[in-house]
Structure 1
Amino acid sequence: MKVIICGAGQVGWQIARHLSGERNDVTVVDHNPELVRRATDTLDVQGVTGFASHPDVLERAGARDCDLLIAATHSDEVNMMTCQVAHSVFNITRKIARVRNQSYMLPQYGDLYRRDHLPIDVIISPEREVAEAALQRLAAPSTFDTESFMGGKLQFLGISLEDECPVLNTPLRQLTELFSTLRAIVVGVRREGRLFAPEPGDQLFAGDQIYVFSHFEDVGRTLEIFGKASKKQERVVIIGGGNVGLAVARALEARTDRVRAKMIEKNRDQAERAADELERTIVLHGDGMSAELLEEANIERADAVLVVTDDDKTNILVAVRAKQAGCPMAISLVNDPTLVGLMGPLDIDAYINPRATTVSSILRHIRHGKVRAIYSVGDAEAEVIEAQVLGTSPISGRLVRDIPFPEGVLVGAIQKGDRVEKPRGDLKVEEGDVITLFALSADVPEVERLLQVSIDFF
């Protein structure tokens, strides 16, 4: 398939990395020649320097025989105009645009994206994706990563193991025997910076970060087994009143279980806007770095602090200060993936990478319809793939133990009708089942072959 990716920043680069690694014909377009050079030097892609919305630039990128265009530049308007040109001039059949400004997303303007108006097939809103990720982190406070699959019946949890974890030094095989009724399975372990898919004889150690699939009814028990307490979040302090902070506060206000939220916003106009739009959330105007203001927000009595300003360093420092002031949980927004390694040493409990959430969302929309969900793990080190099993798939009609999955792939769960089952060797995978897999990035192409799906639309 021929793909044009407009924008060679972190999101565009990661998408290009995924698609070029799966033997697609990828061309990257950006007005910054250094970003184009970085993409062509490090990836198997072609590059064109220029403004993506200019017809002659798209023509040089091969738009006349392009199957898919992804507009992920830093400008909403450039992304939207690029899709319009791709449709009107080159008749590109599938167009995805990243749109940040929430005014473009209001439901009363939904007609804007009709095919005869502004023909964008899929709109990705990073702010909405990040807000949803933040809410999921708050819902599972003792995890550093979480995502829902199979209609919410299956949870993907990232858990940091500490010295008090009761199952350290225990082979995973033995854990399965000890907790035979637990519908949970460890599918990934990050140790000393390396992520791998564990084998039954592997043990877990303090300092490991593990990824676990758990049935939603067994999440509490799963967390307890790995030494984590399940605690309800009743008081939350949000640092940053931009689109992400506002979306989270609105969602917390809409909950039936009462959550007391306070917000700190440095910009006066933004703080006043937040105060006008929110009903029960207390909005304080000032710098979230201020120890006095954090004290005024009763940070020591809060269950969690969510730091979502537009500056990574501010987010990290405020999270550290909130923890030192007595807040038991800190979640920080971090755009720069090179800063993620600081989270553990600085005692920051969880982080949200907007680029990773955007990449996951785009991948979810560009894979064939039988792939129902995609989630990018870490710095694109692995993927969680949820897909419906086709009758033509090599795995259909076979027992789990007989399927030749690569070493870096583990089955998380299999859904048969309304029932979600923990994978067993003697469980047969049948046409129509939904399977969720953890796959290291290098093994994703083989997973797609086994599922008989591709990044295609026809």
Structure 2
Amino acid sequence: MKIVIVGAGEVGFHIASRLAMENKDVVVIDANSEAVKRLSESIDVQTIIGSGSSPAVLEEAGIHETEIMLAVTDSDEVNLVACLVADTLSPTTKKLARLRGADFDRYHDAFKTNAPHIDTVINPETEVVRTIQRLMSVPGAVDVGEFADGRIKFVGVYLDPGSRLADVQLADLPSVIQEDRPLIAAIVRDDRLIIPKGDNHLRGGDLVYFISEEKKLSRHLSIFDKHVTPVKRVLIVGGGRIGYRLARRLEEDSLSVKVIERRAPRCDYLAEQLDRAVVLHGDGSDQSLLLEENIHDADLVVTLTGDEETNILASLLAKRLGAKKTITQINKFSYFPLMSTIGIEQVVSPRLSAINTILQHIRRGKVLSAISIKGEEGEVMEALALPTSDIVAKPLKRIAFPKGSMVAGIIRKDTIIIPTGDSIIEPEDRIIIFATRQSVPGVEKILAVKLEYF
């Protein structure tokens, strides 16, 4: 698979890094020589200094032999023109573009049928808002994903040291949890992702990922001493594009919303555009302002300024002053491992949201969706089993999945199956697969060779 990436920023860098690790043929284009130098010194990919919207540069990159082009620069306009030029030069190349401007929202479908033809439009800001809403729906979780149109949840929770599950071997869980229990699909310990087996133990402080049907989620959360409590009062720090989108969504859900924004002109705009939200002019990291606004009554504080240090400080301060929960926007991937150490559990990232969307479109085989877990330590994929696949009609325990991967769910029409070793995949089943970063190429090989086939 040959992939051309236009843009060597954070998204382009991390997508290129992941694809290079999977031995794909990657070319990265960027007009910024420093960004290209940083990437070429860290990753073994071909790089070109130039504009991704230039026909000559795209031809130099080999656009005619390219299966997928990703336009992920920080400029919506450059991304659009790059897709237009690529569509002219190589109509068969699949094109994905990151477009963040709200002005383009209503035209996403039009781009799929008109020039410039764009197969997939990625708006990380709308994806972040959806992620925040999922986290709000499961306040005890630090990570929440959905499959099968929301009927299956994969949820990450921290295991308290005093939990009855601490130090329990997974094979012994049936004797500890007599009631219906979820499938534990992954454990993160000391920043390392583990796809567990029966002889693995749970430890206090582990980040435990489990699979649950939506209708059983409350019961499964209670097993981990987490309880779903409704969010009614939300304080948003930062009234930029993401803050505004979130406030609008929460207004539609009839929640009480306050927005703190330090730019006076932006406050005026927000006050005009929002119906019921209270807009406050000030600094979200100002302790006196937070106290004045009764921060201790807030069910949730979401920090969404353009400065991640401010987001971190505001979240920590809000928790110290009595806010029940916080969600913090982070863009620098290097910050992710530090967050739980300093007491910040729920983190969202527009860049990670963009990467998640991109992944499902570059995976071989019938992959319906793909989500990164623990930053970039692994993926959870939803894929379709076709009749020609040689994994159908045999028990899972007889299928040689790559080490570090496991089938965590089977969706058969309206039935959701939490699998065991004796479970059998049938044609047209949708399958949820957890995989460490190291095992993703092996899983993808199975998806492409057999399950595409699959």
Q: What TM bracket, shorter-length normalisation?
A: over 0.9
**2:343 counterpart of 1:337:** no
Contact 2:87 2:116 in 1 (8 A): no
Aligned residues: 452
Contact 1:367 1:454 in 2 (8 A): no
> Structure 2: which 5+ runs fail to align?
none
Q: Which residue of 1 aligns with 2:38?
A: 38
Q: Which residue of 2 aligns with 1:103?
A: 103
Contact 1:371 1:453 in 2 (8 A): no
Q: Which residue of 1 aligns with 2:345?
A: 349
Are residues 92 and 51 of structure 1, via their aligned partners in 2, closer, same or farther at CA, if it must alter by over 3 Å? farther
Counterpart-to-counterpart distance in 2, 1:327 and 1:164: 24
CA deviation map 1:396-437 (0-9, x unaligned): 111111111223112211111101011111111111111101
Range with bigger deviation, 128-137 or 115-124: 115-124
Which of residues 122, 126, 129 in structure 2 aligns to 1:128? 126
The secondary structure found in structure 2 opposite 1:429 is coil
Q: Which residue of 1 aligns with 2:409?
A: 413
Name the amino acid aligned to 1:272: D
Are residues 254 and 198 of structure 1, via their aligned partners in 2, closer, same or farther at CA, if it must alter by over 3 Å? same
The normalised TM-score by structure 1 is 0.94
Q: How does 1:399-438 map to 2 (within 5 A)?
A: 399-438=395-434
Counterpart-to-counterpart distance in 1, 2:182 and 2:222: 12
Shift of 1:441: 1.3
Counterpart-to-counterpart distance in 2, 1:266 and 1:429: 55
Which of residues 206, 211, 230 in structure 1 aligns to 2:204? 206
Contact 2:264 2:281 in 1 (8 A): yes
Contact 1:393 1:452 in 2 (8 A): no
Q: Which residue of 2 aligns with 1:229?
A: 227
Q: Which residue of 2 aligns with 1:58?
A: 58
CA deviation map 1:166-214 (0-9, x unaligned): 2111111222444365351111111122211111121111111111111
Which of residues 285, 290, 310 in structure 2 aligns to 1:289? 285
The secondary structure found in structure 2 opposite 1:23 is coil
Name the amino acid aligned to 1:334: I
Q: Which residue of 1 aligns with 2:362?
A: 366
**2:113 counterpart of 1:149:** no
Are residues 231 and 308 of structure 1, via their aligned partners in 2, closer, same or farther at CA, if it must alter by over 3 Å? same
Shift of 1:65: 2.3
Q: How does 1:178-193 map to 2 (within 5 A)?
A: 178-179=176-177, 182=180, 184-193=182-191
Counterpart-to-counterpart distance in 2, 1:76 and 1:52: 12
The secondary structure found in structure 2 opposite 1:12 is helix
Counterpart-to-counterpart distance in 2, 1:249 and 1:280: 9
Are residues 412 and 114 of structure 1, via their aligned partners in 2, closer, same or farther at CA, if it must alter by over 3 Å? closer
Shift of 1:140: 1.1
Which of residues 280, 289, 301 in structure 2 aligns to 1:305? 301
Contact 1:129 1:357 in 2 (8 A): yes
Contact 2:301 2:325 in 1 (8 A): yes
Counterpart-to-counterpart distance in 2, 1:132 and 1:176: 35
The normalised TM-score by structure 2 is 0.94
**2:42 counterpart of 1:25:** no
Q: Which residue of 1 aligns with 2:380?
A: 384
Shift of 1:293: 1.7
